[in-house]
Amino acid sequence: MLVKRTIVSVCFLLTIGSYFLGYGWGFKAHQIIVQMAVFTLPTEMIPFYKKHWQELKQASIQPDIRRYVWEDEKPRHYIDLDHYSTSDQDSLQKSWNDVLRSIPEDTLLEYGILPYALSLTKYNLTSAMKEKNGPAIVRLSGDLAHYVGDASVPLHTTENYNGQLTGQTGIHALWESRIPELEADGYTYWQEPANYISDVRAAIWHIILHSHSLVDSVLLIEQELARNIPQDKKYTFAEVGKKTNRTYSNQYISAYSAQMNGMVERQMQNAIKFTGDLWFTCWVDAGQPNLADINFMAEPPILDSIKTNDPRSTLHRK
Ligand SMILES: [Zn+2]
């Protein structure tokens, strides 16, 4: 696909809300993930993150806003693993520089760079903590939580990301927005304390491969459900301004979620735990700075100037 996940910029402000429903956890899920991750942190970190709870909540949805105004942001939210051969899938799990030896950069950018965006953001957050740069810590903590959230969504790991190849167009928003909107208030979010991650790249790939292993279930369960529920029970109609939009009925959403046996809740729980683990790992790798001593007057770092071997750093230009 040459053109994928593109957006129509006309009437940007009017359409942006509905677009979000289709291309990332809904705002609600991203914000729950970032806020609940705070409670996994050690006592040295919790006061800073609690103090900036509201800013973190906003920061966690910024990557989805950036993708509309910044072309380089788009591929950071997914990776279409099924585009690649089995041997290429193994190559993908190497460092960015090593991946480039076997897969052209254009291909990587076209089919998504989510795992590398996660690694880079982890690196940048560690740097911000070393510098005690308050605004950057909040912004990058939100970015990291966002990318972890996306990595926990099975449909962010496949070319068939909206069921468009199997006659299931609309399943993306159904899975990651409509189900949480309807059910997330009843989920359990409490997680064990954050753990240090010694091999961040392996941990990122563990999350992504697990999400990818769920793709078949996500699609097949919905196909089966659609066969057994009449169309007039599957959809309902909602007035949006002067338009009437067809949307999945609550009955259909609940039935789909029940058939998946808690998958959406478990994936949100995993995202909360992994977000906390990564924040904690950044803090340890930064030398456990005293977060009570953070400088909020610091200019946000000019990320282009960060010296790193990872060429993805250049993607942070503004
Ligand atoms: Zn996203």
Q: Which two tokens stand for residue 230?
A: 């009449």
Q: Would you place residue 238 in the very low, low, confident or very high pLDDT band (cuts 50, 70, 90)?
A: confident
Q: What residues contact 236, with CB distance under 8 A and at least 6 apart?
A: 246, 247, 248, 249, 250
- Residue whose C-alpha is closest to residue 312's, from 145, 84, 143: 143
Give 232 Cα–ligand 1 centroid separation in angstroms. 32
Q: Model confidence at 294, in pLDDT bands (50, 70, 90)?
A: confident
The rounded Å distance from CA 19 to ligand 1 centre is: 11
Q: How far apart are alpha carbons 176 and 165 in whole angstroms?
A: 18
Give the closest residue to 113 by CA, choosing from 95, 128, 136, 139. Answer: 95
Total-model pTM: 0.86
Give pLDDT tens digits for 56-95: 999 999 999 999 889 999 999 999 999 999 999 999 999 9
Instruction: List the structure tokens of 10.
Output: 């006309």
Cα(230) to centroid(ligand 1), Å: 32
Residue 14 C-alpha to ligand 1 middle, in angstroms? 19
Mean pLDDT for 31-48 is: 97
DSSP tag of 309? S
**Tell me, what's the pLDDT at 306?**
30
Given a cut of 60, whether residue 117 has pLDDT beyond it is yes
Model confidence pLDDT, tens digit, residues 183-226: 999 999 999 999 999 999 999 999 999 999 999 999 999 999 99
| pLDDT, the chain, mean | 87
Task: Please say whether the beta carbons of 34 and 54 come within 8 A.
Answer: no
